[in-house]
Amino acid sequence: MSDSKKFEGLVGLEQALVKVPLEQFKRAFKVSQKHVEKEWAVLASSAADHLAKIEKADASTVRDDALKLIDGLSARFGALKKKLQESKEEEALYIKRSRIRLQHLDDLLNVPSQDSPAFTRWSKTQLDRVLVDYMLREGCFETAKGMAAEAGIQDLVDIELFSQSKMIEDALKRRSCAECLQWCKENSSGLKKIKSNLEFNLRLQEYVELVRSQNLTAAITYLKKHLTPCADVHLKEVQVAAALLAFEPSTLCVRYKSLFDPSRWDQLVTQFRANNCTINNLTTQPMLITSLQAGMAALKTPMCYQPDAQNVHCPICDGKVYGILAEKLPNAHHVNSCLVCRITGDIMNEDNLPMALPNGYVYSQKALEDMAARNDGILTCPRTGTQFHVSQMRKAFAI
Ligand SMILES: [Zn+2]
């Protein structure tokens, strides 16, 4: 495959990089648009009310009312202007970020070859991005911020997005739904598009907590206000929720016991995380893991999980880290198999012949000769511990 084709393939994997600021821009624009529409409606109706009052009033009060109206309108216009200014700054940031990210991908397409210094520089930035992304997902914000600043890639990573997600996840872990409900409000159209029931689940959880604390009056009010209106879509859940009023948290009835289960808070965290990734076009798995798995799938062979057949140079054979990560991956497709020396991990071929010991085990010529040179011609089979003289080894032929 030519370098340019490979680079196009790499660019194809970077959809999230471009889509994240675009989604953020769309959201910021929608929020400011809604705000303007709301404020404009209030301004228009209050102006109309005042004008109606002025028409009815006598001449002496007209002037005072008009001044009051102008003062009121002016204050509201001031607030609206400030809000629009903030939205404009936010939108400008996302536009700038989109430009920088597109430029970053364009840089790759303009790289002359994989051996060029330009590609090494691009790959270094890419590696920094992957590491910062991983740290952000793991909640190591200070380290991630420091690394992003040092590498000058603040506009290529999504620090604010992950900070906000962390704040919401922490709130859920503290058993507070308010922050996540606010997020649902800001992302209502995105959640609708993916048919998410996160908001309903959050409301249900707030209701369950009221029942748990046996605050039944508040629970009934909450049920009527937030859950009953969802009965057209979540009828069964609303019915079960209503019946929950008759049960105490210590109930053994499975259906109601599961609603009181504290692990529902962990499920909310998981659902929020998944919805947040989908809405923002982020991959659910960190890029670091995806990249590692892509590399590992190219190395993995059926031998990696056989203790007697492992290769000292193969990271997958080292079962402690990569072997676990690679467990669910397919084996690499090898058209031709090759013989690898168990002692050195080197490939055995015409330059380094496979040599058989009298017990039938085969090792590379270089490994055995090296062992013999260090032990007065004595060879010790690493598998059985049996000793032989170097003169006893024979060439092995594979058919
Ligand atoms: Zn292996």
Tens digit of each residue's pLDDT (9 = 90 or more) over 370-391: 999 999 999 999 889 999 999 9
> Distance from the CA of 322 to the center of ligand 1, in angstroms?
10
* φ, ψ dihedrals at 150, nearest 5°: -65, -40
Give the span between the Cα atoms of 105 and 196, in whole angstroms: 32
Number of domains in the chain: 4
Residue 63, pLDDT > 80, answer: no
> Distance from the CA of 312 to the center of ligand 1, in angstroms?
8
> Distance from the CA of 292 to the center of ligand 1, in angstroms?
15
Are 67 and 164 found together in one domain? no
* CA contacts within 13 A on the Cβ side of 386: 10
> Distance from the CA of 316 to the center of ligand 1, in angstroms?
5
Are 95 and 169 found together in one domain? no
Mean pLDDT, the chain, rounded, equals 89
Are 102 and 199 found together in one domain? no
pLDDT at 234: 93
Residue 345, pLDDT > 70, answer: yes
pLDDT band at 57 (very low <50, low <70, confident <90, very high): low
> Distance from the CA of 319 to the center of ligand 1, in angstroms?
9
Are 165 and 271 found together in one domain? yes
Q: Is residue 234 in a domain?
A: yes
Are 269 and 291 found together in one domain? no
pLDDT at 147: 96
* φ, ψ dihedrals at 233, nearest 5°: -100, -35
Q: Is residue 115 in a domain?
A: no
Q: Is residue 127 in a domain?
A: no
Cβ(21)–Cβ(103) under 8 Å?
no
| Mean pLDDT, rounded, for 86-106 | 93
> Distance from the CA of 371 to the center of ligand 1, in angstroms?
24
Are 210 and 180 found together in one domain? yes
Cβ(315)–Cβ(300) under 8 Å?
no
Are 12 and 80 found together in one domain? yes
pTM more than 0.95 = no
Cβ(105)–Cβ(17) under 8 Å?
yes
Instruction: Give the tens place of pLDDT for each residue, 178-218.
Output: 999 999 998 888 899 999 999 999 999 999 999 999 999 99
Are 167 and 275 found together in one domain? yes
> Distance from the CA of 310 to the center of ligand 1, in angstroms?
6
| Domain that residue 212 falls in | 160-279
Give the span between the Cα atoms of 127 and 295, in whole angstroms: 14
Are 366 and 302 found together in one domain? no
Residue 4, pLDDT > 80, answer: no
Are 274 and 357 found together in one domain? no
